[in-house]
Amino acid sequence: MPRQAARSISGFVRPSKVISLLAALVLTGAAAQADPAPRRVVSMNLCTDQLAMLLADPGQIVSLSYLSTDQRSSAMAEQAASFPRNQGQAEEIYLLNPDLVLSGRYTGVATVNMLKRLGERVEVFLPAYSLTDVRERMLQMGRALGQQDRAAALVARFDADLGVLRENVQNRPLAALYYANGYTTGDKTLAGQILLAAGFDNAAVKAGQSRGGNLPLEVLVMMQPEAVVTGAKYPGQSRSEAILDHPVIRALQKDRETGSVADSDWLCGTPYVLRAVADLVALRHRVESAE
């Protein structure tokens, strides 16, 4: 409040009244800035689906994305089956009368922009590129849902479980993350961070890939990784996945431990990434015992 205005008020009102008035103005402003806990939450992103289910009160979620029940993508597909689902269209989400819409940074950009223009409250979540990001996304969701205490408890459990899984590894075996079209990911990705947490060195980094890119079969073979980690194949025939059946890959797998992991545990920054870490720790133990 400007000084002149304060002096003007104090000239007509006792000091105690002035103090009470100023305090009331401050509290009113703080209350206006704080968002109340939402009662009708709509998620239109696979990762926000899962974070919301982990933290929301019963009845707080109105709808989840259509991907939420895909068992190949969602680590909480069974839990999601009890919720209505949406196709991420602005019209259908608006008609659900939400007081909070959850979205990923790259999910339905046109839909998100339209909902914002219509005055809807939209909380946008960036992808998780590290285990630290996983913690931050849980805390962000807690704030968005008005469930800060629950989010803090979830993060504390995440930290404790991760601490148990991490070991003091002296000699880190070399592992390659190898997917359709020969794609691989480096350490500046969530998958790469999971690999590091499990005690492996990343073949992609050794090949000069810090984020992601294609790793030729010839380079993979020359590197001779102790483990090759692949995702679960999708049903049907896919030319992009044919490389995983290449004779060179099969020959490499004859002599090396190979891990096939559930994609649903790796895709999103949720506590379920710890299942991926645990799977890789078990794989590393098998690799070490075979040497």
pLDDT digits (tens, 9 = 90+) for 95-145: 999 999 999 999 989 999 999 999 999 999 999 999 999 999 999 999 999
Q: Using CB atoms within 10 A of its CB, is residue 134 exposed (0-12), middle (13-18) or buried (19+)?
A: buried
Residue 42 pairs with which residues in a beta bridge?
63, 101
**pLDDT exceeds 60 at position 8:** no
What pLDDT, on a 0 to 100 scale, did the predictor assign at position 110? 94
- Is the distance from CB of 22 to CB of 66 less than 8 angstroms? no
CA distance 59 to 199: 41
**pLDDT exceeds 80 at position 238:** no
Helix 46-55 vs helix 148-165: angle between axes, to the nearest 10 degrees? 110
Distances (CA, A) of 198 to 145, 232, 280: 32, 19, 6
The CATH number of domain 41-127, selected from 3.40.50.300, 3.40.50.1980, 1.10.760.10, 3.30.565.10: 3.40.50.1980
What pLDDT, on a 0 to 100 scale, did the predictor assign at position 265? 93
In this structure, which topology does domain 174-290 adopt according to CATH? Rossmann fold (3.40.50)
Share of the chain above pLDDT 70, in %: 81
DSSP state of 191: H
Confidence of residue 2 (pLDDT cuts 50, 70, 90): very low
- Is the distance from CB of 269 to CB of 133 less than 8 angstroms? yes
Do you know the residue count of the chain? 291
Lowest mean pLDDT among 6-10, 117-121, 158-162: 6-10
Confidence of residue 30 (pLDDT cuts 50, 70, 90): very low
**pLDDT exceeds 50 at position 14:** no
Q: What is the average pLDDT across 30-56?
A: 85
Q: Where in the chain are all domains bearing CATH 3.40.50.1980?
A: 41-127, 174-290
Instruction: Give, rounded to a whole angstrom, the gap between the first and last alpha carbons of the chain.
Output: 73
